[in-house]
Amino acid sequence: MTISKGDSIPEVKLAKATADGPEQVQSSEFFAGRKIALFAVPGAFTPTCSARHLPGYVDHAADLKAKGVDEIACTSVNDAFVMKAWNEADGSSDITMLADGSGDFAKALGLDADFSGYGMGQRSQRYSMIVDDGVVTEINVEDSGEFDVSSAEHMLGQL
């Protein structure tokens, strides 16, 4: 079942990419007590993700925070080292990278996808959501091959 508005974020362990290496975090703790703008990409360093998705959140980080977002986070089925390198190459300190190395978070949300046809295996669908104190208040899942409703610009219109 796919997560919906009003649902709580499932309990999953993620790896937060930090300057000191991966930091294990429980999803319930990460999302507790604040408003998080979360977006997910099929893969770090992939064309749409690097050229449009991550840069949009970098460019609009201050706008999102001005509308009450406490933290902006990006997740992908990649390891924390790849997520850190991607953030250093294309991101900013305004974006927290959450590695979902085994895809457990994507599966728990019901937003996993098979990208084997592209040589990528099991990944996450492209989506964005607003999570307020662990509860999904907005969710935007892209149709396959699309990039629109998960953008930072779309999310700004929802806040």
E strands in the chain: 13-18, 21-26, 35-41, 71-76, 95-99, 112-114, 122-124, 127-132, 135-141
pTM: 0.93
Q: Which domains does the chain have, with CATH numbers?
A: 13-158 (3.40.30.10)
Phi then psi dihedrals of residue 27, to 5 deg: -60, -40
pLDDT in tens, the chain (159 residues): 799 999 999 999 999 999 899 999 999 999 999 999 999 998 888 777 677 789 999 999 999 999 999 999 999 999 999 999 989 998 899 999 999 999 999 999 999 887 777 767 687 989 999 999 999 999 999 988 888 899 999 999 999
- Rg (C-alpha) for the chain, rounded Å, is 14
**Positions marked catalytic:** 49
Cβ-in-10-Å burial (0-12, 13-18, 19+) of 109 comes to buried
